[in-house]
Amino acid sequence: MLKVNHHEYRIVLDARVTLLDALREYLGFTGTKKGCNFGECGACTVHLDGWRVNACLVLAASAVGCDIITIEGLAGEGDALHPVQQAFIDRDAFQCGFCTPGQIMSAVACIIEDHTRSDAEIREWMSGNICRCAAYPQIVAAVRQAAGN
């Protein structure tokens, strides 16, 4: 049983299936992107029991009983966006949008972990997420805005 975005899903998976593939292929949470599939780009970042992880490196079987939050589960009730999602819109912190879900999930964790005291610190703690469009200045500005800095 996988608990994703506060809902439980009973699925039968091969022991080799990654959390990324379980989310995308079996449960339909396609906001989590498959980029490199080697844990190097951060496009597949989700929260697992409150910690950011690269879903391509986690076996789905090891996430049984954990709280998994994807980009689809980040927003509040109704049409309310998470403050980080709103900051990404306000600061134009995306270009093609492919990396955006992973960037946002890492940004939320960065704020929770209190790694937002300077632009350099934000860049360091967001460095596991690659943006091929080079929207890094806007991403840093969005994290700063959402953190209230």
pTM: 0.95
**pLDDT, tens digit, for every residue of 59-80?**
999 999 999 999 999 987 777 8
Task: For residue 28, give the 3-state DSSP assignment.
Answer: coil
Are 7 and 47 in a shared domain?
A: yes
Instruction: Decide if 37 is inside a domain.
Output: yes
**pLDDT, tens digit, for every residue of 8-53?**
999 999 999 999 999 999 999 999 999 999 999 999 999 999 999 9
- Give the pLDDT of residue 18: 98
**pLDDT, tens digit, for every residue of 93-130?**
999 999 999 999 999 999 999 999 999 999 999 999 99
**Which of 103, 106, 108 is CA-nearest to residue 82?**
108
Are 66 and 107 in a shared domain?
A: no
- Which residues span the domain enclosing 90? 83-147
- Check which CATH number belongs to the domain holding 52 and give it: 3.10.20.30
Give the count of domains, the chain: 2
First to last CA, the chain: 39
Our CA dihedral for 35, 85, 118, 112, rounded to 10 degrees, sits at -90
Domain end among 27, 45, 73: 73
For the cut 90, the answer to whether the pLDDT of residue 141 exceeds it is yes
